[in-house]
Structures are given as structure tokens and as C-alpha cells.
């Protein structure tokens, strides 16, 4: 039995669609019934065709049984949504409706209104009226209104409306899916890193999640008492020996471990991987083995492993465990990645979770380690940076916990990519494995040994780096930097890489520079980054992250997303329109955490 049994044990949230209508009978409502319901059906079709849950299945929509013309039908719709497990609410209408009688009043569900831009009926008037009502009642809602007038019989969804519908729905589903899940803290604070001081209030009030805690001694107990699937372990060990290439040992001769110890370390790190997964999501096989309590897991969609130093001074490090779990494949085949934060950095784990749920792809965990200016690169290597890298690059590197998907050996349209697991071929998974070597851990860092993954990310991938920081007096603050992975000539990479720990995976990242604020230069990006870690997602998802952050009432302190792509609740404009960043802070402070 594999992890798939308990992996997605809870139902996925559905999108509820509310067709609202002018309630006046004897001609008005009757003339609008078909058009209004068709709007709802067209949006449901759009979502089902373009959005998927983390397990790869199409997103499900629930449409109200009737058009909503007044409070009785609104209440009936709310009852249906509650029964059906709706976590996101979209109201659609081509006409005037009675605002406060037809609006969705559930404060915990992300909501939007699409008001049809047509001249025959005043859909835009209802949109403005109901959004005013939402703002007045403290229920921020997104407004969707097309740029161009459509004819009354036009059932198509314009591209600009389509983009906003999908952007809202993607972010709303993230909010809904996180609610009620757990962050599992495996261990405690790592080396004084503030992000690993797991903040229960943040997870509860902003994300609707609980925090679960275990001591790292639980790994020892489960290994010593055999609380893992022994058959899976034997199969996993065979797979590891066949697919995980052991690299050169960089330790000084006097500090290298014996072959016997290295083989024992492989066995330990494989068991650690099984145990961490079982701790997160459970495993029915453990129940069959007589461990009913352990079989349940902690309902965790994200976790963190302290590791350093109380664990790694004595036991093999968590690099293999974290890298494999964060990847889209292991000895059980191709599957959805898990989110496991190195050094129990729960804040970096949070943005890993955001990126994963928005894209269904694996996320790279990395140190934001070094800014290399064009002048420094040329001085050290003689090479002049060009292309995306012409303004300088960031060296993203950390002990080998980064997802193996991150080496870019998957492809889309002939270009390197990171893809949802259902799009990854067996050949691509093997290429990711073949492009990774497992280097015996540097015992100066990791006295207990272990293995660190070592690879180089292929250039040319659009990427988004993000980070959440907690600020006393403000709360959580999100940072975003869109950019590209870049290729460097081999001798340049080797020269720069060897100046740090070359047993770890490297991503050379070039943020997109706007010439303003924190994106005036690559140096300013590095200088304004709020912590030592960042999460890197495939694709330019900054706009989606901003939309998601506004739903959760988390302000964004720096980003390089084009202003025309930013989509927040309509009420944000009431906090000022000249400086969106400042308005975002005021709106988030005013409305407060979503679950407080």
C-alpha cells in the first residue's frame, strides 16, 4: 500500500456559481432566466476545462438550483453550497438585481461578481451596487467587468473576463483547500532561524490551518520499533540503488566515512522519507501492521524538518528525505509532490504551499545566497553576463533539499519546464534522476553524514521567487520576484559554484528589473529580500500570488508584476488608487485576517 490511500482523504472544495437575476415577475425575470443560467453554465465549463485539483481531477462546480432574485433563493443557494462543500463563490448576472438581497453573506468564502457588460440590461449597475454593499458590510469581493460591450445573446467569455475568472478561482481554491489542514512541525527551531519559530496564530488566523508538532525522536522510535512498511522499504532501497547516483565525496580523506557507514546512511534516509510522509498524511499499511494510531497521520499539506543541529550532529541529514518528498516521483512512481520545508522554515513552507496549490507543480526550496554583479562575475571568471543575466544574478542554493523537478529536465514545447505530475512522462522523471548526483554530506556541516542532492537548473525557465515574513505590529508580509533561470558557460558555473558548497543544487536566477523601488537593480532585490530563504515556482505566477494574498489579507511589500495584471477585491480601490502598495497595506489592516 502506498501513500495514495490517505494522501487526498478529504474532499476537495467546489466552486459555487450563483446566477442572480432581476426578481420582478410578469416579463422582466422571465426574459432573463435563460441568459442568466447560461452565464453560470459557461463559467462552470470554463473552470472544469482549465482548473484541476492537486490529484489531477477537474475542478467541480455547483450551480444554484434556480436563479437568485431575492433573499429566499439566496438562502436556498447557501444551504446547497454548504451541503455540497463549496469553498469559493462566484456570482454572475447580465442585469440589475437587488444587491443586499442576492449577495453571498458567508464571510469565510472568497467571493467575486461578474457583471455582464451589455447595454440591454444594467449588469454593470448591479455589479457596482453589490460591490458597494460588500465593502460596506466588510466582505471584500472581486469585481469582474469586461472591457468591451457584448450583445445580450452573446454567450462567449471575453479573454479579459476569462483571465480574471480563472485568476480568482485559482486563488480562491487555494484558500478553500488550506482551511482545516495542518502544518506539521517535525522538530523545533533550527539554528535560530526565525521562520522555524512556528507561529500558531499566523496559521490559524490567516490560513485557517492548525499546527501539529512532533519531536524528532519520533523518527528514532519508528525506525527502532519498525513502524514503517518494511516491504516498501526493501523495494525503495532497490530503486535508490538503481536510480540515485552517488557522487564524489568532497570531505577530507581523514573525515570520510567508510563504505559500510555510507550504505547504512542510505538505509536510514530511505526510512526517514517513508516516516516523514506517513507522519504527514498517514498510511493504511501501518494499520495492517498493528499501528493504528500512527496510520492516521497529521492531515498535513505542508511540513518542516528541523534537522540542524540536534538531529544532524548525530544522524544522517534530511536532504534526501526532503528532496524526494518535494519531487513528483519516487519508488512508487510519478505522483503529486509533498511540501517539506528545510530547517522547519514554516514561512518558506507556506509560500511553497501557495505556489504548489496555484500551479500543481513542485517547488524549489533554496537559500537566497549570493548576489553576483556583472562586474564581479567578469572579475572572477572573465565572462561578461548577457541575456536575462545582463544585470546580475542570484545564486539560489541550499543543502540538497530542493525538488529534483527543479533541474529542468522536464520539457514543454521543447523548453525546460516543471510540470504537474500527470503531465510528467517516465522518461522525464528518469532524466531528472539521471541529472542529479547524491553527494556524501559535508561532515563539517552534517556530523551525522547523509547525502545531499547536487544538480544544476537548466536556464530559460520563467520562475517566481516568493517569501512570507512576519513583522511585529503588521503580521505576515509577502515578497515576490518574477524572473528566469539562466545558463552560464560551464567554466563560469564551476568557478562560482566552487566558491560555496558544490555538493548542493544550484539555480542561477535573474529577476526581471523594472528600474523602480526594490527592482531598480538585482542588487536591490537581494538587499530588500526579507529572509535567508525563498521558494521558487515554475512560471510567472506573481499576479496569482497577489490575488491570493489579498484574499488572506496579507499585504505585498515588493513585487515586479505589471500593474495591469494585478487583481484584488474592488474595495482595495477605496483605500487609495495612486499607490497600490500602500492601499494594500491599509486594506489588509482594516479588514484583518480572514479567520480572526
Residues tagged in the binding site annotation for Mn(2+) = 343, 367, 533
Residues 6+ apart with CB under 8 A from 386: none
367 is catalytic: yes
Residue 110, CA atoms < 13 Å, CB-side half-sphere:
32
Instruction: Report yes or no: 395 and 502 within 8 Å, Cβ to Cβ.
Output: no
**What is the C-alpha to C-alpha distance for residues 111 and 135, in angstroms, rounded to an integer?**
12
H-type alpha helices, 103-209: 123-136, 159-178, 200-207
CA 178 to chain centre: 11
Residues tagged in the binding site annotation = 343, 367, 533
Residue 570, CA atoms < 13 Å, CB-side half-sphere:
21
Any bridge partners for residue 300, and if so which? 182
User: Catalytic pick from 73, 343, 345, 584?
Assistant: 343
The C-alpha cell of 126 is what?
Answer: 448591479
User: Catalytic pick from 367, 405, 482, 544?
Assistant: 367
What is the full DSSP assignment across 1-58?
Answer: --THHHHT-SPPPEEEEEEB----TTTHHHHHHHHHHHHHHHHHHHHHHH-B-TTSPB
Q: Following CA atoms 72, 77, 80, 84 in sequence, which dihedral angle do they give, to the nearest 10 degrees?
A: -170
* Cβ neighbours of 54 (radius 10 Å): 18
**What is the C-alpha to C-alpha distance for residues 401 and 389, in angstroms, rounded to an integer?**
25
The side-by-side arrangement of strands in the sheet containing 340-342 is 210-214, 182-186, 300-305, 340-342
Instruction: Report yes or no: 22 and 69 within 8 Å, Cβ to Cβ.
Output: yes
Active site residue ranges:
343, 367
Amino acid at each position: 500500500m502506498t501513500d495514495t490511500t490517505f494522501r487526498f482523504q478529504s474532499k476537495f472544495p467546489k466552486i459555487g456559481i450563483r446566477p442572480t437575476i432581476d426578481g420582478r415577475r410578469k416579463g422582466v425575470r422571465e426574459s432573463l432566466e435563460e441568459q442568466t443560467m447560461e452565464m453560470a453554465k459557461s463559467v462552470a465549463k470554463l473552470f472544469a476545462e482549465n482548473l484541476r485539483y492537486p490529484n489531477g481531477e477537474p475542478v467541480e462546480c455547483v450551480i444554484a438550483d434556480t436563479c437568485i432574485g431575492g433573499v429566499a433563493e439566496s438562502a436556498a443557494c447557501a444551504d446547497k453550497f454548504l451541503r455540497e462543500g463549496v469553498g469559493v463563490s462566484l456570482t454572475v448576472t447580465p442585469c440589475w438585481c437587488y444587491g443586499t438581497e442576492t449577495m453571498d453573506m458567508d464571510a469565510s468564502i472568497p467571493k467575486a461578481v461578474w457583471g455582464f457588460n451589455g447595454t440591454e440590461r444594467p449588469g454593470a449597475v448591479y455589479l457596482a451596487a453589490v460591490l458597494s454593499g460588500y465593502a460596506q458590510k466588510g466582505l471584500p469581493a472581486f469585481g469582474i467587468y469586461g472591457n468591451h460591450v457584448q450583445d445580450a445573446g452573446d454567450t462567449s467569455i471575453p479573454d479579459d473576463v476569462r483571465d480574471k475568472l480563472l485568476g480568482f478561482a485559482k486563488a480562491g481554491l487555494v484558500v478553500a483547500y488550506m482551511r482545516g489542514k495542518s502544518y506539521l512541525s517535525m522538530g523545533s527551531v533550527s539554528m535560530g532561524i526565525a521562520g522555524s519559530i512556528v507561529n500558531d496564530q499566523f496559521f490559524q488566523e490567516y490560513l485557517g490551518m492548525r499546527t501539529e508538532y512532533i519531536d524528532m525522536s519520533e523518527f528514532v522510535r519508528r525506525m527502532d520499533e519498525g513502524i514503517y512498511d518494511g516491504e516498501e522499504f526493501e523495494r525503495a532501497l532497490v530503486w535508490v540503488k538503481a536510480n540515485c547516483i552517488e557522487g564524489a565525496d568532497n570531505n577530507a580523506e581523514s573525515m570520510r566515512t567508510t563504505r559500510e557507514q555510507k550504505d547504512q546512511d542510505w538505509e536510514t534516509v530511505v526510512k526517514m522519507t517513508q516516516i516523514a510522509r506517513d507522519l504527514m498524511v498517514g498510511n493504511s499499511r501501518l494499520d495492517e501492521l498493528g499501528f493504528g494510531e500512527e496510520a492516521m497521520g497529521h492531515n498535513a499539506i505542508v511540513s518542516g524538518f528541523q534537522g540542524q543541529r540536534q538531529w544532524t550532529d548525530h544522524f544522517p541529514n534530511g536532504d534526501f528525505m526532503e528532496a524526494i518528498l518535494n519531487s513528483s516521483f519516487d519508488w512508487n512512481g510519478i505522483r503529486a509532490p509533498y511540501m517539506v520545508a528545510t530547517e522547519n522554515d514554516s514561512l518558506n513552507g507556506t509560500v511553497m504551499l501557495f505556489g504548489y496549490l496555484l500551479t500543481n507543480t513542485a517547488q524549489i526550496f533554496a537559500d537566497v545566497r549570493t548576489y553576483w554583479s556583472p562586474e564581479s562575475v567578469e572579475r572572477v571568471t572573465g565572462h561578461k553576463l548577457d541575456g536575462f543575466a545582463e544585470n546580475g544574478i542570484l545564486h539560489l542554493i541550499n543543502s540538497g533539499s530542493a525538488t529534483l523537478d527543479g533541474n529542468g529536465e522536464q520539457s514543454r514545447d521543447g523548453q525546460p519546464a516543471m510540470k504537474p505530475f500527470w503531465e510528467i512522462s517516465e522518461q522525464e522523471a528518469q532524466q531528472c534522476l539521471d541529472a542529479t548526483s547524491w553527494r556524501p554530506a559535508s561532515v563539517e556541516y552534517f556530523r551525522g553524514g547523509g547525502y545531499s542532492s547536487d544538480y544544476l537548473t537548466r536556464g530559460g525557465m520563467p520562475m517566481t521567487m516568493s517569501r512570507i515574513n512576519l513583522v511585529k505590529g503588521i503580521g505576515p508580509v509577502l515578497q515576490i520576484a518574477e524572473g528566469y533561470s539562466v545558463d552560464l558557460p560551464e567554466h563560469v558555473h564551476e568557478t562560482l559554484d566552487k566558491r560555496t558548497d558544490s555538493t548542493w543544487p544550484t539555480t542561477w536566477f535573474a529577476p526581471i528589473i523594472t528600474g523602480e523601488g526594490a527592482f531598480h537593480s538585482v542588487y536591490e532585490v537581494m538587499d530588500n529580500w526579507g529572509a535567508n530563504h525563498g521558494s521558487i515556482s515554475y512560471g510567472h505566477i506573481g499576479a496569482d500570488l497577489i490575488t491570493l494574498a489579498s484574499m488572506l489579507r496579507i499585504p505585498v511589500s515588493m513585487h515586479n508584476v505589471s500593474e495591469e495584471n494585478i487583481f484584488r477585491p474592488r474595495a482595495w480601490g477605496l483605500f487609495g488608487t495612486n499607490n497600490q502598495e500602500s492601499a494594500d497595506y491599509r486594506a489588509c489592516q482594516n479588514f484583518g485576517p480572514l479567520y480572526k
